[in-house]
Structure 1
Amino acid sequence: MGYQLAKDKMESIFKKLQETHDIYAPVVKKGDGTFSEVDVVRYDKVTSLDEIEWNKKSDYSFKEALLSINETLFYFTEDETTVPKGPTKDLLIFLRACDMHALKRLDQIYLDNKFGDFYYQRVRARAKFCLMGCSKSCESGYCVSMGTNKADNYDLYLKLDGDKAFVDAKNEDFVTVFEGETKQDVTPDYVTENKEKVTIPKNLSKATKDNPIWEEYGSRCIGCGRCNFVCPTCTCFTMQDIFYKDNPKVGERRRVWASCQIDGYSEIAGGFEFRKKQADRMRFKVMHKHYDFEKRFGYSMCVGCGRCDDVCPEYISHAAILNRLAKEEG
């Protein structure tokens, strides 16, 4: 159901929603970038519409609002374990169309991948999503090529235009919030063309592992893992057991974000490491997103947000790798 209302009224509704929801959205973090004079757009809890960054793509994805970077799974003593309590309030997360498609990938991995993840399930069950439209393409994104430039599985859509707000409420919980407001057809803004265009390789196979492209790009990669941390669909993690100083038999187990690109990630007991060379790690990441995942679930893991290209200190372009593979592999 679409509505038009004054921005001030929307702000009042926004405040009211905070009584039942923790609201997360992209905000500008002054001086938190690579250098002290560089800003970064990152997700954080917001209390006002004016705090939200509406025009720039976030440097980090919405993922950290659903999946804690450092999450305690349980506390343990000598005799028992205790699982921490989950969220008590619902979540409302603002994101763009490409990230709505990334949500589908996260759900596939954590909910529909044979066994559901308990910790993700209890947060996801409380989460609702507000779509932010894209009036123009970002510099590095290739969502049109990936078919992720449009999304209609949102709970709420919100657009601010001067002193007016335009809303499309799909979730019944939100429809009741806007009762009495002026009804109007509202269609989300979306891009129809990107500056970055990608041809998706269709004939990847196990033989693609021998393509010299991996050595070429692997020689440039420094294994920092930044591409994984900003990606909205990467889900690699490691486990840490923390033992308390006052009693070394008591502590907690944590799940912590990790990267398949860093040295030692694929090392197992006994010291064997599956992917020692950076070229092998680069191959694994790309092939997992565009071969393994698609072969298993029927669609690519990548949503074309372009964040990995933006953040790479070696200017390695995932889009360029795909175009090379499409040309060389077919």
Structure 2
Amino acid sequence: MGYVAKNDILDLFIAQLTKQYLIFAPKRFKNGGIYSDTDCIRYGEVTSIDQIVFDEKSEYSFKETVLPVIQTLFFFTEGSTKEADITQKEIIVFLRSCDLHGMKRLDDMYLHNGPADYYYQQIRSKVKFVLIGCEHSFENCFCVSMGTNRCENYEMSIDKSGENYRINCKNKDWKKQLSDLNLAEEPVAPSYVTENLIQVSIPGNLEFTVAQSKIWDEYDSRCINCGRCNFVCPTCTCFSMQDMYYSDNGKVGERRRVWASCMVDGFTDVAGGGSYRKKNGQRMRFKVLHKVYDYKKRNGYHMCVGCGRCDDICPEYISFSNCINKLSEGMKEVSK
């Protein structure tokens, strides 16, 4: 059984949760958009249900809640180091099915791809997820094609229906708190989409030989290597390491982990002055095949979750879903 609640009652529940948890959800930042007088929907800390945006897709993914854009790992002096403090509170993240599937990708890369990443693990062990149901598909979404439109691995789900919120709760502690609020009970299941306007088809005969196709050449001029697609993607995980020295003492500072992008200049620079994938088309080829070819070869499922944010954010209107759909043409070309 599930629960049906209105804003005021649900805020009482959230108030109880904030005593133990930091709660992050899609939130509207007034005038925070990339253009003048535009808003931005991205993840931020919330303390009431009204702050959560249910009817629009967030421009940025949940990723920065578990993998900060800039993360201080430790502080150093001439003779000692001190590990940076990590929040003692647990974390709740409200997110959609595609992003919850994205979480599985992050876990595989940071926890199961060799020794677990210590810094990621410290935050990840504190996180619980609330699934936001999707009553309809958003622009550029292709989650159905990628098989990420449904998910069961959540502590609680929530759907907004008019002035009510429909809740399906699996967490025993939260279920007791909801029961204590005398909420109406009825069968509840999270909403999910069954079709998108955008569909992609990954060829069954896809091989790495498609890298030799000329389909990548157009991106040499179209792509401006800004890296936005990487930063909004819930499954891009690359970072650089930076030592920041304090101006008062050049031998004291901190080591930071900072998001990086395979699409920008300098990413493939190596010792001795070498640099790989200098052309933007080569970078696009690497990104696309990583998302829908080589990651699956290793893990058994695609890295891309079909959220469509890369299409939403690109200033040059490059469509990642179109890139995927061109792979069939590319395979025909290299198979001749």
- Does structure 1 residue 73 correspond to structure 2 residue 73? yes
How big is each residue's C-alpha offset from its partner over 1:48-94, in whole Å with a ceiling of 9 and x where there is no partner? 11011110000000001111101101111111111112111110101
CA contact (8 A) 1:201 1:322 kept: no
Where in structure 2 are the equivalents of 1:166-205 lying within 5 Å? 166-180=166-180, 181-205=183-207
Q: Which moved more, 1:163-172 or 1:225-234?
A: 163-172
In 2, Cα distance between equivalents of 1:161 and 1:323 = 35
Give aligned pairs, total.
330
Query: What TM-score do you get using the length of structure 1 for normalisation?
Result: 0.97
1:190-223: CA deviation from partner (whole Å, max 9, x where unpaired):
1111011111232222211101111112321000
Cα distance in 1 for partners of 2:275, 2:101 equals: 33
Whether the 8 Å CA contact 1:7–1:160 is kept in 2: the answer is: no
Return the letter of the residue paired with 2:57.
Answer: K
Change (3 A) 1:78 1:316: same
> How far apart are residue 30 of structure 1 and its match?
1.7
Structural mapping, 1:7-22, within 5 Å:
7-22=7-22
SS at match of 1:179: helix
Q: Separation in 2 of the partners of 1:104 and 1:278?
A: 29
Determine helix, strand or coil for the equivalent of 1:50.
helix
| Per-residue deviation, 1:327 | 4.0
Contact 2:7–2:50 under 8 Å retained in 1? no
The answer (yes or no) to whether the contact 2:145–2:306 under 8 Å persists in 1 is yes
Match of 2:326 among 309, 315, 324: 324
The letter of the residue matching 1:134 is C
Q: Secondary structure at the residue paired with 2:222?
A: coil
Q: Which runs of 4+ in 1 moved over 6 A?
A: none
Secondary structure of the 2:195 match is: coil
The one-character-per-residue Cα deviations of 1:103-122 (angstroms, maximum 9, x if unpaired) are 11011111111111111111
CA-atom RMSD, angstroms?
1.3
1:244 and 1:250 in contact (8 A); partners too: yes
User: So what's the TM-score if we normalise by structure 2?
Assistant: 0.95
In the aligned structure 2, how far is the partner of 1:97 from the partner of 1:33?
25
- Give 1:292 shift: 1.2
Look up the match of 2:53.
53
* Distance (whole Å) between structure 1 residues aligned to residue 160 and residue 138 of structure 2: 19
Match of 1:254 in 2: 256
Identical-pair percentage: 50
Contact 1:260 1:285 in 2 (8 A): yes
Superposition deviation, residue 254 in structure 1: 0.3
Q: Which of these residues, 213, 219, 229, is aligned with residue 217 of structure 1?
A: 219
Kindly indicate whether residue 206 of structure 2 is the aligned counterpart of residue 240 of structure 1: no
- Tell me, yes or no, if the aligned pair for 2:60 and 2:232 is still in contact at 8 Å: yes
Structure 1 residues 9 and 118: alpha-carbon distance in aligned structure 2, compared to 1, 3 A threshold: same
Pairwise CA distance, 1:160: 2.9
- 2:300 pairs with 298, 301, 325, which one? 298
Contact residue 215 and residue 330 of structure 2 kept, 8 A:
no
Q: Structure 1 unaligned runs (5+)?
A: none
